[in-house]
Structure 1
């Protein structure tokens, strides 16, 4: 799921992705893969670009609420300036245009590739595409399905298909009716669009059937390499102008690939993954030759889109990173004044990885999770490293942790309090991410080891660890161009370097969002019981405030030395509230540091922790605000005398007013402990 024009904040930092993957199609829901603008919304697992409006059109009909756009979540790389390579692309989608009763048709819709995701036109007939005042630095390519006629825009009629490059005036167009297509019929139409960089030709097919016709209905000679920017956004745009119609898109597939002389259009349709797909229809195919399964293609996904869509057994990834850094650190980069780190990560061969880990020997295992095993290794170019090898059973699931973590880590995560990616290996049967090795292990092991050799954390070290985690989360939530919700903040995922500085890791569950126009769908809650916010457990919708809750649990864990849920099911959050209600909060502090800390600082951390785990997410501070309080730069939070109760309206029964009451010990409801203990299984 994944974008990444925001890489530009790294000076002289360029990415080249070369994915070679023969693989089946993968299905993803649009809510997790698109950003919606203006009038666009999701409806019945499809994208509705526009909404019905009253007729005749009101004075506001040409305002932004008559324009809708849906773009794939992350920009796709179309140009490699280093190797002077241009991507070819293939797109297939189904759409329908349904007129509102008693209204004229809207303007129509367009498949769009644009360098500026925020560029709109409110002019009638423009389908939301950029107008004459197009910024010279911007560029767009569109295939329009036009249901209005404006001679001033060169429209041949109100039922035509055209190809636009940096202008709403089509340089090639065809009367759709002449090829048996009525865009105004309301019927579902399937379109195929293909651009070959080797021949500099773009072709368009359209049919009422889900089988691609033998011949395209529109062919145009054009060199798009002159109009592509390095990163472009891909999606759809529509507008209603003075009319009213619903423009619906579904069954969308898009992919970029390297043009090879031996590759035929049928092969392109047969093989490879897509950037965003819907569940496949078994009757759906892309044209002649696609049933035999013998097509072969070396495809290039020159952008982050490929990362968000493929679930494969064999992946070959090539990343070349070229950058200039002001200051070197361990031969890999430097640290900026803002705490961000410029560092090179590179592709490693399977031979290097096996050699570094002694063939993934059991003696090298330093950690194990549900989806991966971590080995300590040594690379001559990096020194000691942690090699995280992913299990194939895990990467075949819908939420592929390898894809998610790789995309997130390479994307923008360069911060001194985040574990740094050194490289990766995607070769043969090995899917691995290589991280810097942190000698003091996880915060969980340091806090909860029972042996006499356990490391003892001084109070100043504990405070520094919490502030380090706060810095990392503030960066993810507020400073990245795309907001990142970690979803698994816990002591196990906080690693400590040689000086006990905290580094947040494990982004296998992370969610990446636009700061604006965020679409968040309910999911099965992911994470670790005891750290999960009650509203996230109940609704399944992650947010920055659910990360804040997890961070609050970590604070309480650091201050008390207790696990979030102990061996008998006692919940740390309830224990801390109990001490607060008795007016003896300081007694909750870790007995191992009693008399060895500043009482005011410990009490402050406990109070901030309680404010972060407030049952009502609206009452929680941001991570940045919590850090300011911890540093004494803001007043202490105001806490209620007793743990508040928060009710959630049940969504299970429309005829019931059943409420889940997440309350303190004074509540007769016991559901809270049921949800918050490790015995709960979300399947």
Structure 2
């Protein structure tokens, strides 16, 4: 017979397991239907709002307000926005996540979804393409933030991927192209949205980012709205979506809404200010854990099934002896956790670095485990400053681990590490930029962890003459050139601070599993200072053949030197030739010669075996020549390059022969004049034999 102590021990073990399981189940209780008013196809599933279902027919039109394809979900109780006794008007903040999943490959996308504040939940548009938003009606008022995935010219849509703000009309008061900012609502990825309305400013701001990252520094859209003019005292808050003539699932979850500036301000969840701050300043396990706990309760109350009630009664009988001890340990754990989170939040707030995306900090143990101890068998690339390993991290999947060679904190490579890290987290919201997932700075190791690119570099694929080269079809080459042009336009024209890459070349362009291009290696990148007089003249950094002639001479990088490098890349992709051949032949010189002879098609990559569109080939070559114009003042901006490649802007007129342009040395005491297209020894400026005595 077992002793009483053993019996007590096993009772406590069983009780502990039971209590743990029951506690987890309680905190994961899903939202309940009674918290919402559902209209049309909208319903609740797995604690998420499902607004639309798969359409039975992609071409079917709606014949009634809530025909299949339209769904709306509103918080059950109206929320006060106006206080007529004090003349106060509410400001509000809102955060939620959503995704749009295409439900049928043969159907077009749905219309999109909208965050909606309306005075009448039953006012809905009958036509497709309107996301189920209210019809213009003088008796009703509404404010909507659209996440539009369809193009409707009648509503003034700019494209089929944009964000708009509507106020009492389906014609938007403000709109912005989200795709140009690297946000693709049709990608199927989960999005995070932050909406803030300040009545003192009468301004609404909208931030959008991919789920799991910080709120971007700058709002995607800013619009002027005065809700006091048309809002009712009480309004309904929720979401609306429609499929129109397409088919997609529109899903919303993790919704939080809060009003302020009224005595009876409303919070439509139970997030505390502390957790709100921590979610913003320190994304990761701490914030996600608190979010999961609160998600079981936001917008409603926890509810227990009859089975749970029975388990509670039985558990209370068995837990009299141990409940005090368990509670004490539990509260000690919570207090310690709260202190840890507060410290991390405080450290983040003190930090000067504000970023659109914050990569995950990894321990050296995690990095070593991912690369099998930096095994030589895992090496997939090596350069002068770092070695790149293929790795596998449980939390991130397949990754590329960039391990810097030098470890001294005063070394140039340490500065390159910090420069690359700072640039990556400061302005990296674009689908054609390699994403930084993590980093490690421990002991004498400096490591950056990037998303893994299965098809390696464009340089290797383009020049290997293997099966991979044959897979790089003309259609894929067009997409590569356009993707990198779009990424550079983003760095030059859309970041808060203009970024000069300085080392654009095919070996720094990576290809994912579907041959989508991603620009990487920002170790030499720097913020554009606008004025060359404010910059220090140094030896040019980068790779010969890709360097602009004025950069080789002056050592001063600019946006135009990036444009030149892109032109070389475009010509390299079209012709399959390296910037400088083994015999010293320079690609740009050869292309100018072919242009003079009007024989551009002879330059096409022979591995394409004629399988290309001649008009598209000519366009890419002519755009490339425009970018490598010897006179930097005659080169287009990257924004113009993108428009020319898309056929949205006319091609620039090129001179009949390669122009000769002369420049003055930057040295204040020098009056030397140097030709752009010839060096002092008669060799082309873009060859490796360039004369550098003037730098």
TM-score, normalising length: structure 2: 0.47
Hey, which of these two has a bigger chunk of helix by percent? 2
TM-score, normalising length: structure 1: 0.48
